[in-house]
Amino acid sequence: MSIAYNAKVTMHEAKWTDVDGSTVTFKLPMTGMEGQRNPFEKFTKRRKGRAGTRFAMICYEIEDECQGPMVYKDEVMLAGWNDSQSNGHTVKFWLCADGMGHPFEGYNRKKDHFVVALVELDDDQETIDQKMRDRVEKKSVKPSQRPSYGAVMLCGNEAFWQYIKDIGEWESCEIESQADTARVGGYNDVARHYICSRLGITSRAELDRNEEVRQRYHEIIYKPFMATQEVGPGAPF
């Protein structure tokens, strides 16, 4: 059996409505690593009529730092996940609790903790091998589809070099780039240094791993540059 997720979580919200039925939202543990991704980012949320990833879940209450009584053992569907500065990583599930009341009713937000283990299910109720799944997904992403590839191509764009010069950043980035590499690195290295310094990263590969970095890249680098490349009315071609 391949475990999709197994960790200590904290109660965030338990709800029941006529429309959605029973749902539970957990706050996930953080390792303290900057840029850590939500572990459920790779799974499918339920949205616009599309079914979310299904799991077999078993959940135990934690009492005095020890495993307590079992709270839930059944199938769940991923409703969504979220990242925020106030709550960190959270994940929301639909529960199979028809007519039985809410399994997490009475538990307190931020105070009650659980041990949760999840196994991903396919359409035939069979468990999915997570290691094989990750290998297949990793191979299915071509290098040209990775966000870092776009940044690499941008660093080789002469118009982007000129843009860095026009905004007055070229000279300082050139000096710092030479200091970093202990050599004269050329225009590509200067452009790379500009991107990394603006985003506060050491490698463009971080664009593939960190959603926040990708968003900042588009907002403070890519969009401003592309705005200077738009051809206005009457401009020569």
- Do 128 and 159 reside in the same domain of the chain? no
Instruction: State in Å, rounded, how far the first CA of the chain is from the last one.
Output: 61
Q: Does 160 reside within a domain?
A: yes
- Do 34 and 121 reside in the same domain of the chain? yes
- Do 155 and 134 reside in the same domain of the chain? no
Domain range for 195: 143-229
Q: Does 74 reside within a domain?
A: yes
Rg of the chain, C-alpha, whole Å = 24
- Do 135 and 204 reside in the same domain of the chain? no
- Do 136 and 153 reside in the same domain of the chain? no
The pLDDT tens digits of the residues spanning 126-172 come to 777 666 555 545 555 555 567 888 888 888 888 999 999 999 998 88
CA dihedral sign, ordered 152, 198, 162, 224: positive
For residue 11, which amino acid is it? M
- Do 125 and 171 reside in the same domain of the chain? no
pTM equals: 0.54
Q: Does 52 reside within a domain?
A: yes
Q: Does 118 reside within a domain?
A: yes
Long-range contacts of 72-79 (CB under 8 A, 24+ apart): 72/103, 72/104, 75/121, 76/118, 77/46, 77/51, 77/52, 77/53, 78/40, 78/43, 78/44, 78/45, 78/46, 78/52, 78/53, 78/54, 79/23, 79/45, 79/46, 79/52
Q: How many residues does the chain have?
A: 237
The pLDDT tens digits of the residues spanning 162-190 come to 999 999 998 888 877 766 544 445 788 89
The pLDDT tens digits of the residues spanning 62-103 come to 988 788 899 999 999 999 998 887 778 999 999 986 556 789
- Do 76 and 157 reside in the same domain of the chain? no
- Do 94 and 189 reside in the same domain of the chain? no
- The number of distinct structural domains making up the chain is 2
The yes-or-no verdict on residue 235 having pLDDT over 50 is no
Locate 46 and state its tokens.
Answer: 């339920």
Q: Is-contact 95 72, C-beta < 8 A? A: yes
